[in-house]
Amino acid sequence: MECLDFEGFSEVAREHAMHPRNYGPMKACDGHARITGPCGDTMEFWLTTQDGKVIEVMFTTDGCGSSRACGSMTTCLAEGRDIAEVLDLQPKEVLAALGACPPECEHCARLAVTVLRAACDDYFRHLPKDGTCMPDGQHRQDGRLKDNPETDKY
């Protein structure tokens, strides 16, 4: 869905909706998930990690301004944090960082956080069995090609 009306958006939320940060796709990643919400919009997140921290995180959405704003702010809040902290990120933190936004943002923030967590789960699922990490700068999969049917539903 597309909406150009940003009524009810704070300045910060409007700015993220119009100019989303970290908009993907990402070519090579350590974790990836794509989920379609009950609204019919799909969000996709990719992340790379180093020493247990999320180094880079990107997203895409086919939803409108509120989903762009929530996806964008979710990436900003996740970047540089320990993966364990990222798993604990709550939709209300995304909404608080955006400031005022319309009620539908609650759903978008929930979807964004759900997809981000699924990308973290994907990362943990694919850790090498011997506990070793990928050498710096190398990531395990091509984010453009990888689908994850387990996280494709919301």
Binding site for ligand FES (CB under 6 A): 37, 39, 41, 63, 66-67, 104, 107-108, 111
The minimum distance between CB 62 and ligand FES, in angstroms, equals: 9
In the chain the first and final C-alpha atoms are separated, in Å, by: 18
Q: DSSP for 75-115?
A: HHHHTTSBHHHHHT--HHHHHHHH-S--THHHHHHHHHHHH
The minimum distance between CB 67 and ligand FES, in angstroms, equals: 4
The minimum distance between CB 104 and ligand FES, in angstroms, equals: 5
**Between 134 and 154, whose beta carbon lies closer to ligand FES?**
154
**Between 79 and 104, whose beta carbon lies closer to ligand FES?**
104
**Between 41 and 122, whose beta carbon lies closer to ligand FES?**
41
The minimum distance between CB 15 and ligand FES, in angstroms, equals: 18
The secondary structure of residue 44, as a DSSP letter, is E
CA 103 to chain centre: 20
**Between 32 and 68, whose beta carbon lies closer to ligand FES?**
68
**Between 37 and 143, whose beta carbon lies closer to ligand FES?**
37
CA pair distance 83, 109, nearest whole angstrom: 19
CA 152 to chain centre: 14
- Whose tokens are 């990120």? That residue is 89
The minimum distance between CB 124 and ligand FES, in angstroms, equals: 25
Query: Please, what is the angle between helix 104-125 and helix 65-78, to 10°?
Result: 40
